[in-house]
Amino acid sequence: MYGALKDDLTKKLAAIRADGTYKNERVIATPQGALIRTSDGKEVVNFCANNYLGLSNHPAVVSGARAALDGRGYGLSSVRFICGTQDLHKKLEKAVAEFLGTEDCILFSSCFDANGGVFEPLLDEESAIITDSLNHASIIDGVRLCKAKRWIWKHGDLGDVEETDPDTGKTAKGLERCLKEAKDAKFRMIATDGVFSMDGDIADLAAICDLAEKYDALVMVDDSHATGFTGAKGRGTWEYRGVGGRVDIITTTFGKALGGASGGCVAARKEIVEYLRQKARPYLFSNTLAPSIVGGTLAALELLTKSTELRDRLEANTRRFREKMTAAGFDIRPGVHPIVPVMLYDEKLAHAMADRLLEKGVYVIGFSFPVVPRGKARIRVQISAAHTTEQIDAAVHAFAEAGKELGVLK
Ligand SMILES: *Cc1c(COP(=O)(O)O)cnc(C)c1O
């Protein structure tokens, strides 16, 4: 049988290459950090990691992980409810709940799994789930796994509207319209990313929570690109938007700002967490988090609870980069998030620009369709607290040079 599948895959792979969307993986031969070396020996400054706070190889995080490795071993060879729960796991669940201001928290192997496990137990076929059209793939998949009736609102459109695209004939609805249509459901849940990773947009949680209250809906936020640094104390989008206590469910990852290893969680009201422990399939049927990751994440949270220094530095670095790139003449999507989309629109130009920047020692990636809409190609820069002022300025300089060479800047 394999011959037929092999031919099919070979054709599909060739088509992906011809389309220019084939993903090559660059191999790094150092720990993750501001300055990295690729396996061909080239040193580059990394501007495409989710290492927002520079914790991926931070001494305190590594030492927290090492202490857990020494004290609690390498692995547990079990799921949580059989014999995979250590004191450390309980400690981390408590620490995350405290950090995020929720009643309780349940760990998953990843945020992908958290999103895969959170909807299905809570929402049955009589319920309604209302999701933003640009939500992360893991929310989309999690929603697919639950039987609730689905509504999708057009990203950024919270209104009581319905529009038909004259070209495609497709209709798009605002959030309030969806909520009205879902009024007869037993439960309604609004699900959104806190920060949208392609644009760095921060969800308008204040308006979303107002609508949730008006139409009696629950609010679920995936804060993977916010936990640890968004908001004055880095607690996330809810803190930034001033909606503490009004979000029912927060999912997030430990694989980005919080040390970047892996793992995720659902932080939520007490009964929700208690029920997920009984019913969430990725929790019940997948291994417990490795002790070293638990120890590392605990150390990361401890650092961020003690001081806001790292998130403050990230904010200053972000402001500097955004201001200097704008002054240099680039088209930057406005905002405050360390995800800084440098808009180039043309797909080939975006990739050529990223290649040129790599030659200049700046590691960034061009994003094009289908990751972003056609004609909206860009380079997504991600700023880190680990970047020095010199590295930020050198990156702007390299962008300006490459921009002139490729005709982006006059
Ligand atoms: C990165 C990301 C995830 C996946 O997190 P993992 O822990 O790596 O599985 C989920 N949701 C959003 C919004 C993300 O950005």
Q: Which of 138, 139, 262 is the best mutation target for the ligand 1 pocket, counting ligand atoms within 8 Å of the beta carbon and taking the most? A: 138
Ligand 1 pocket check for 136: Cβ under 6 Å? yes
Q: Which residues contact 5 (CB under 8 A, 6 or more apart)?
A: none
Q: Which ligand 1 atom is the nearest neighbour of the CA of 262? A: 7
Rounded distance from Cα 343 to ligand 1 centre (Å): 23
Between CA 409 and CA 396 the distance in angstroms is 13
207: Cα within 13 Å, side-chain hemisphere: 12
253 C-alpha to ligand 1 centroid (Å): 6
Task: Measure 111 CA to ligand 1 centroid, in angstroms.
Answer: 5
Q: Is the dihedral of CA 289, 385, 101, 137 positive or negative?
A: negative
* Consecutive 10-residue averages of pLDDT for the chain (410 residues): 97 91 89 94 96 98 98 98 98 98 98 98 98 96 97 96 89 97 98 96 98 98 98 98 97 98 98 98 98 98 98 98 98 97 95 95 93 92 98 98 95
Return the pLDDT at 165.
86
- Ligand 1, atom 5, lies closest to the CA of 111
Kindly state if the Cβ of 86 falls inside 6 Å of ligand 1: no
pLDDT reported for residue 374: 87
If you take atom 2 of ligand 1, which residue's CA is the nearest one?
A: 224
Q: How many CB atoms lie within 10 A of CB 245?
A: 9
For the Cβ of 197 lying below 6 angstroms from any atom of ligand 1, the answer is yes
Entry pTM = 0.97
Cα angle vertex 381, ends 38, 229, to 5°? 105
* Euclidean distance between CA atoms 60 and 71, whole angstroms: 16
Cβ atoms within 10 Å of 378's Cβ, excluding its own: 28
CB of residue 138 inside a 6 A radius of ligand 1: yes
Q: Which residues are catalytic?
A: 197, 225, 256
Is 110 touching ligand 1 by the criterion CB < 6 Å? yes
Distance from Cα 251 to the centre of ligand 1, integer Å: 9
* Domains and their CATH numbers in the chain: 27-57+308-405 (3.90.1150.10), 59-306 (3.40.640.10)
Task: Give the residue, by CA position, lying nearest to ligand 1 atom 1.
Answer: 224
DSSP 8-state code for residue 30:
S
pLDDT at 20: 76
Would you state the pLDDT for residue 223?
Answer: 98
Q: Which atom of ligand 1 is nearest to the CA of 50?
A: 1
Tell which one of 112, 258, 283 to mutate to probe ligand 1, the residue whose CB is within 8 A of the most ligand atoms: 112
Three-state secondary structure readout of 50-72: CCCCCCCCCHHHHHHHHHHHHHH
